[in-house]
Amino acid sequence: MTPFLLNSLDIGEASVIQLALNQSISTVCIDESVGRIVARLNNLSVTGSIGILLRAKKEGYLLSVKPAIENMLNHNIRLSNTVIDIALKEAGETYA
């Protein structure tokens, strides 16, 4: 693993990016903004947890993303209201 990755990111994000580069994987799942920037600087496409949930709903694995988002919030995973609103809108759901 390169010193740049280790000095810029936590071990999990650095490992994901390094593995993607080593294995020619084009898309990584990273939620932290610095990790997303570093991934993009390495020409990787980026999705996050919310993107995974939206794709799961689109492909029929989830009926709703709202319970998963609520579960994330209940487990102290920080999501901005803007991200939540956009995700629910894209999923065709409301936060009521």
* Residue 28 sits in the same domain as residue 53: no
Which helix (H) or strand (E) segment holds residue 4: the answer is helix 3-8
Chain mean position to CA 1: 22
Tell me the mean pLDDT in the region 7-31: 93
* Residue 64 sits in the same domain as residue 43: no
Answer whether residue 84 shows pLDDT above 80: yes
Tell me the mean pLDDT in the region 18-34: 95
In a domain, 67, yes or no: yes
Parent domain of 25: 3-47
* Residue 41 sits in the same domain as residue 62: no
Tell me the mean pLDDT in the region 73-93: 94
pLDDT: is 5 or 46 the higher one?
46
Measured between alpha carbons, how far is 84 from 71 in angstroms, rounded to an integer? 13
What is the total count of domains within the chain? 2
* Residue 55 sits in the same domain as residue 81: yes
* Residue 20 sits in the same domain as residue 30: yes
Answer whether residue 68 shows pLDDT above 70: yes
Cα–Cα separations (whole angstroms), residue 75 to 53, 59, 72, 79, 88: 16, 25, 5, 11, 19
pTM comes to 0.82
In a domain, 96, yes or no: no
* Residue 68 sits in the same domain as residue 33: no
Answer whether residue 96 shows pLDDT above 80: no
* Residue 67 sits in the same domain as residue 32: no
* Residue 57 sits in the same domain as residue 83: yes
